[in-house]
Amino acid sequence: MIQHVSSKKSVMSRAYRLVKPYEVVDTVIEHELADWMVVVEPLMGSICHADMRYYSGNRRPEALQKKLPMALIHEGIGTVVQTETAHLPVGQRVVIVPNIPGSLIQGIEPEECCPACRNKEENYCYHGQFLGSGVDGIAQSRLVIPAGCAIPVPDEVPNEIAVLLELCTVSYQALAHVAEQLQHSKIVVFGDGPVGYLAAAILHHVFHVSKDRLLVFGVVPDKLAQFDFATCELVQEYDFTEGNTHDIALDCTGGRFSENAINQAIDILRPGGHLILMGVTEERVPINTRDVLEKGITMRGSSRSSRSDFYPVLSAMKDPSFQRTLGKLLPEQSTNIASAEDFDKAMENAVSHLTWQKTILHFHWS
Ligand SMILES: [Zn+2]
Ligand SMILES: [Zn+2]
């Protein structure tokens, strides 16, 4: 009897998988390798709040149960180690796009995939996968991703800057919908954390919003002092009663701060204004819908970018002044990761010592 041997190739990967909150194990997993995929060895990653919420179990129990065990991390860069794609030779440095549309997973045209892909909104693809959220993320030695989700990094952009690209594209995606208004509007950002900092940085360096049109509200003077390209105010000292002064507002606070920020944003927005929600909260947030109605405010949520958002931001990253701005988010030293224990320790440290700067992981695979 002739046995049919599958022609599909596979790749073994060493993964640091979170099995339950605060527990990471070293595992070997197997990936299928289709012709349109490339194999990437992760070089650097950065820890996102989403990773921390999984690690510390700060997600709804159903979500945790469904998604674990899983390797975390969706912000990262790597080196191509196996490829059939001409423009991605072995050794090529790439940024990893974690939001993988179904069309690229199956090797079909976007039109054949789903209504979102047909509508050119592949970040909302019905059949997509997101690394480190439902499928194994970047904390593994061999990542198999479609060639379209590996973006070559220009020589002018150093690793430490490129590793911040995914986070930048989330702001870019949110802002691209109001790109035209950004040229003349007054814009306000709520939040002095990394999300607010990057959103403001993108507004300034990518959309060229000048300091006099860009207002940032924060709580901590030391954090606000970093925003030297924006006008800054302490939110607790600002008088919101005047209102109607700004055209576009971004909530980059999240958690228990969202309620105040969103309602203050509704106060400060002019009629016809736009409110962009980027702060993540697991709780419902009571908001002043009366004024949303009265002012005709448009609200839009955004948390995931797609491939097309990576190119314009990566190109802007060649600019040394943008690099200096981004550099302030980098720690003095990156954290070396050579084992599951190292990874576990880095995650525990990140959740127990929340810092303004990002935690940058430098992977060493043996
Ligand atoms: Zn993230
Ligand atoms: Zn789709």
Read off the tokens for 361. 């992981």
Q: Tell me the C-alpha distance between 215 and 200, whole Å.
A: 9
- Å from CA of 18 to ligand 2 middle: 28
Ligand at minimal distance from the CA of 124 is: 2
- Å from CA of 248 to ligand 2 middle: 30
Ligand at minimal distance from the CA of 119 is: 2
Q: Tell me the C-alpha distance between 76 and 360, whole Å.
A: 9
- Å from CA of 123 to ligand 1 middle: 14
Ligand at minimal distance from the CA of 50 is: 1
Ligand at minimal distance from the CA of 358 is: 1
- Å from CA of 298 to ligand 1 middle: 25
Q: Tell me the C-alpha distance between 267 and 288, whole Å.
A: 9
Fold match between 9-164+330-363 and 169-301?
Answer: no
- Å from CA of 89 to ligand 1 middle: 27
Contacts of 201 (CB under 8 A, 6+ apart): 168, 229, 322, 325, 326
Q: Which CATH architecture has domain 9-164+330-363?
A: Alpha-Beta Complex (3.90)
Ligand at minimal distance from the CA of 47 is: 1
Ligand at minimal distance from the CA of 169 is: 1
- Å from CA of 301 to ligand 2 middle: 19
Per-residue confidence (pLDDT) for residue 1, from 0 to 100: 47
- Å from CA of 132 to ligand 1 middle: 9
- Å from CA of 131 to ligand 2 middle: 16
- Å from CA of 300 to ligand 2 middle: 21
Radius of gyration of the chain (CA): 21
Query: Tens of pLDDT along the chain (366 residues)?
Result: 454 445 578 999 999 999 999 999 999 999 999 999 999 999 999 999 899 999 999 888 888 889 999 999 999 999 999 999 999 999 999 999 999 999 999 999 999 999 999 998 888 999 999 999 999 999 999 999 999 999 999 999 999 999 999 999 999 999 999 999 999 999 999 999 989 999 999 999 999 999 999 999 999 999 999 999 999 999 999 999 888 999 999 999 988 899 999 999 999 999 999 999 999 888 899 999 999 999 999 999 988 899 999 999 999 999 999 999 999 999 999 999 999 999 999 999 999 988 889 999 999 998
| Domain boundaries of the chain, sorted by first residue | 9-164+330-363, 169-301
pLDDT tens profile 337-361: 999 999 999 999 999 988 889 999 9
Per-residue confidence (pLDDT) for residue 95, from 0 to 100: 98
Pairing of strands 335-337, 360-363: parallel
Query: Which CATH number applies to 169-301: 3.40.50.300, 3.90.1150.10, 3.40.50.720, 3.40.50.2300?
Result: 3.40.50.720
Per-residue confidence (pLDDT) for residue 123, from 0 to 100: 87
Query: Would you mind telling me the total number of residues written for the chain in this entry?
Result: 366
Q: Tell me the C-alpha distance between 290 and 279, whole Å.
A: 22
Ligand at minimal distance from the CA of 111 is: 2
